[in-house]
Amino acid sequence: MAERIKLHGWSEISLFSNSLETGNVVVAAIVYSIFGRDPSFIIPVNAILHATSGLMMFVLAFELTNQRKIGLVAGLMVSILFVVFPSALNWYGQLHKDGYAILGTLFIIYVWVKIFSRDFDFSLSLVIMSVLGIFLIGFVRPYALLLTFVVLVTSVTCVLLVQLCSKRITIDRKRSAFGVVFIVFLLASYFTISDSAVQVKKTIGDAGVNQVEDWSWQDTEWVPNKIERYVQGAATVRAILATSNVEQGAKSGIDLDVLPNDILGVIAYLPRATQIGMFSPFPSDWLDSLSLMRLVSIAEMLIYYSCAAGLFLLFVYNRSPSILFVAIFSVFFLSILGFSVVNVGSLYRVRCAYVFLIMMLGLIGWFIYLSRRQHVINLARYFSRLKENGSERLRLVFLSCSIMSITLLSFILFFFRDLYMATTYGLVGELDVFFLALMIPMTVVSIGCIPFGASFIPVFIELLRTKDESEVREYVKGLISVVLVVLAVVSMFVWYASVHLIPVISSAHTSMLDDFLLWGMVLLVVSGPVVIGNSILNAKGKVAFAGVSQLAVPVIALFILYFWGENNIKAGMIGMVVGQFVNLVLVQLYLSKFGFTLFPRMHWKALNFNNMFFSMQYYSLVSSSFFLALSVFVGSLLAVSLSEGAVTLLNLGNKVVLLMTGLVGSAITSVLLPHFSTIIAKGEMEKARQDLLFFMMLLILLVLPVSGILMSFPDFFVNMIFGVAELTADDLSDLSRIMVFSAIQLPFFTSLILMIRFLVAVKRVSIVLLVAFVGLVANILLSQILMPHLGVSGIALGGALSVVVATILLACFFVVHGYFSKSSFLMFVLISSACMLVFSSIIIHKFQGLLFVVFISCPLIIYFIKNSAMRADSNNVE
């Protein structure tokens, strides 16, 4: 056209002459004929259209709420996001129609928002906006005028029906007359330029005949022919685009195999089309084929999801006709686009206006909610009170984070060890034997030694307070002697039982198991003095060093494996033993600064001194650790009966979840158990209860999104973590399922371990014993039931569900014994139910589950924390 203008003059300009030379092409031709053929000259025109659309977003937000401050803030936020979103470069940086269509759509919506507003007044500006809106849409997409007419009439009808049902409808002749004239003018505009629209239909029909094979439309007798032809046109467009995407191998196609060919098929697909139109690209697809544009779209979609959640709040507080009209109009258009456009990349561009309208409504909803409930103010007061009260909780949170960081580093080093061994040796039976032989002494350490150290902390603190320090040093020497003797006896018994019982389950590699177990028993005996030394350091407030010194174990194990383990799996076990000896030396050197030593000296005071108190603490912790640690060991023992490599798969698949449980467990044991023990010893039970609830909700809030992410993207994490290992596709699939099922337990585990440590501080052993027994039985039964159906991943699911059972049972006991109020228990049940809904949704459909994490469970927890703050404030006033 630009060449024709140069040759024949401006008379060559013709609007709506055919389906190819639409308005944006005419504008480009005029610009090219004046300034030359350079696409960059069209950018200022597109930028003006885009900036004007951003201004209209602000004006719309301001019109939709009667609270000026909320409208101002929401309008500024949505308009800024609209202008600065990088994806907008797709249309205002190229020769696209979208800028014209978006601005025309916003003009039309603004006119109808004014029609539905209470202070409607006929003005020339509304007439101009009406004409401009219709013109801009028809200028670039003539066929869209009819679609706009259908959606507009449907949306207005829905709003009027809602008003009629709520008995709030009023008849205003001026308002009604303007609306009718607008609709008539819109329809007349379509028929005026219908020749161009017909050409588009004809082009689509011809392309459909030529391109789409094995697809034909089936007429429905009871549907009027006129309506059916339009639905057929939409279905034909979908079929053409789907076929084209398949032929071109498009990576961002969605539901390309779904091609409805009758009215009922179209209706049945509309809910899915609405979901695609509103929420695609889905989180489950975000991390596929990562690129710069994909990362941009991920960031934009996260912002969109966060804003869109406010829609629910908006409909609670404000269901005005204007709000309903914008929401219905946007959702209808998104449904149509989700049905017709089968490429997510194209859909991402053409739906822009309607997505930002949803974001605008959501932001208004969020700000109305926050202003009415004063959540931000209450939370600010809560954290200010923490600071005024000496920042004790904040100090504990910081210290817990430090311990979790050290534990994370230790886990990463151990993970590198396991990954190095899996890569070097493969998933062979010998590696199964290594993990099983290592797990046996580590299970004994978890059940017997670590609880011993944890129960020794309050005893040691009490001894320092009531006894002479020299007497306490002698007591420690005697205690280490007793521990070494007991562990020596236990190690011999465990070794004898293991070498005779494990071959009954699996007879593979029994000679190697005997050799590995001998080194494992040495590791078990050395762990006793290390645990006691770490307990003394924790009681002295040297928590960080106790954690750092343990890093010697994985570092030395990796060192020995790298240099001497190329063809010898036993090097991994030897490295663990040597590393534990180095850990023991480091702890001893640091304890010598306080006058304590880990060298044994046998005397009877260690058996008699404060024996009853020590026993109660120890037995309660043993019972809790018996369930938690033995669950992992039972899983490995059950996996031995499966195919070769099953133990290794279970161990690797549980790594990330065990990391989280290890982080939480170490922080609670090292920081919160001494904290609870101290304040309960002072008789401040109410403060202990409040701290229990606070830290429980805080931990759940932290780990719940982690669970959702792990369950939503298991394939990504498995490929990222284990991609370097020589694993088959089936192995990677098993690892993904194990990760998904194991992640179920995370929010429940945090609550369980915190409640157990609280019971240790208050010396309620019987409750812990009962819950531990029920949890262990549930673990065995569920794993046995699920194994035949799910294989090794069934063991992971059985273990996770047993944690859920134990947590809920223990929460019930907390209510009975007064550690939870009924309202707190009710909130805990709601959060637990939301968590299970989240996990069920993720397993069935990852996208909805992740939305539940963001929009249901996390807000519930925040609501609970806010209410706890308000109750604490009222108690302080009283």
Residue 301 to residue 297: CA distance in whole angstroms: 6
Quote the pLDDT of residue 531: 87
Mean pLDDT within 166-195: 78
CA angle, 618 then 624 then 625, to 5°: 85
Q: Which amino acid is at 318?
A: N
Buried b (16+ CB within 10 A) or exposed e, 515-538: ebbebbbbbbbbbbbbbbbbbbbb
Mean pLDDT within 589-594: 84
Name residue 343's beta-bridge partners: 253
Residue 79 to residue 354: CA distance in whole angstroms: 13
Q: Is the pLDDT of residue 3 over 70?
A: no
Contacts of residue 815, defined as CB under 8 A and 6 or more positions apart, other chains included, come to 821, 822, 825
Retrieve residue 196's tokens: 């161009």
Q: What stretches of 318-351 show up as alpha helix (H) in DSSP?
A: 321-340, 344-350
Residue 283 to residue 302: CA distance in whole angstroms: 9
Torsion angle of the four alpha carbons 801, 803, 808, 814, in this order, in degrees rounded to the nearest 10:
170
pTM: 0.51
Quote the pLDDT of residue 386: 47
Residue 615 to residue 760: CA distance in whole angstroms: 11
Residue 446 to residue 632: CA distance in whole angstroms: 11
Q: Which amino acid is at 285?
A: D
Retrieve residue 603's tokens: 């005397």
Picking from 284, 325, 315, the residue whose alpha carbon sits closest to that of residue 301 is: 284
- Segment 814-864, tens digit of pLDDT: 888 777 776 666 666 666 666 665 566 555 544 444 454 455 455 555 555
Q: Mean pLDDT across the chain, nearest whole number?
A: 75
Mean pLDDT within 431-445: 80
pLDDT band at residue 743, thresholds of 50, 70 and 90? Answer: confident
Retrieve residue 543's tokens: 């928590």
What percent of the chain stands above pLDDT 70?
72
Mean pLDDT within 698-706: 75
Residue 750 to residue 745: CA distance in whole angstroms: 9
- Segment 236-245, tens digit of pLDDT: 888 888 887 7
Contacts of residue 651, defined as CB under 8 A and 6 or more positions apart, other chains included, come to 418, 435, 439, 636
Quote the pLDDT of residue 735: 82
